[in-house]
Amino acid sequence: MDDVGLAATSEEPTEFSKKFLLKINDYVLPILLKKQGLAFDYRTHRTLWSFGQEWKLWQSTSDHPEYDGRLVYRTASINLAHSGDRIDRLVFDTGLDKTREEFLDKLYKAYIKLQRSTKGTYSLAWQLRAVFCFDNRCQESVFDRLMEENYTGSDKYELALEIQRQRGQYDRPLRVGNRNIGLVRVLKK
């Protein structure tokens, strides 16, 4: 450990960071992946990760208040052909149409769940999105689109949206009605 400390103080910070990350990628991550039964290296992992992102197979967030770090969850499955050599189709757990059904009811449930943990009247928009998407196994883009369609509320629900003032460095804003939204309140009429 003393060698690592000495290297960290003697090298340029960016050069040390690069070397440190390369060592983690080459030695630590393969061990972690193998423990999970995944016998491949970091570069293969990154390639699979990028496929999953492009095909919308999963969603990841660091905004869910019940989890520390990055939360990754499945939003779709790949069905292979009987021969197993090609993809037959992608099946989304809850895509746009399914999530649209009773959207405001689902939003209210996520709001109440978030409100119980944060004890606030208003919820941070990106935390509400993270809770909603995790509970409903949908992509953030699905949530964003449905919020844009429903931000005026309904005869059953009233939505109060506050313009975003500040957010964390990694929090992706929620854009509704051509504004970045920072706080959301969902009320049952």
The string of pLDDT tens digits covering residues 27-77 is 676 777 677 776 666 677 677 778 778 878 888 888 898 888 888 888 888
Give the global pTM.
Answer: 0.73
Q: How far apart are CA 113 and CA 136, in angstroms?
A: 13
Q: Is the model's pLDDT at 169 over the cut of 70? A: no
The answer to whether 94 and 139 have CB atoms below 8 angstroms apart is no
143 alpha carbon, distance to own chain's centre: 11
Residue 97: pLDDT band (50, 70, 90) is: confident
| 87: enclosing H helix or E strand | strand 87-92
Give me the numbers of helices (H) and strands (E) for the chain, helices first please: 8, 8
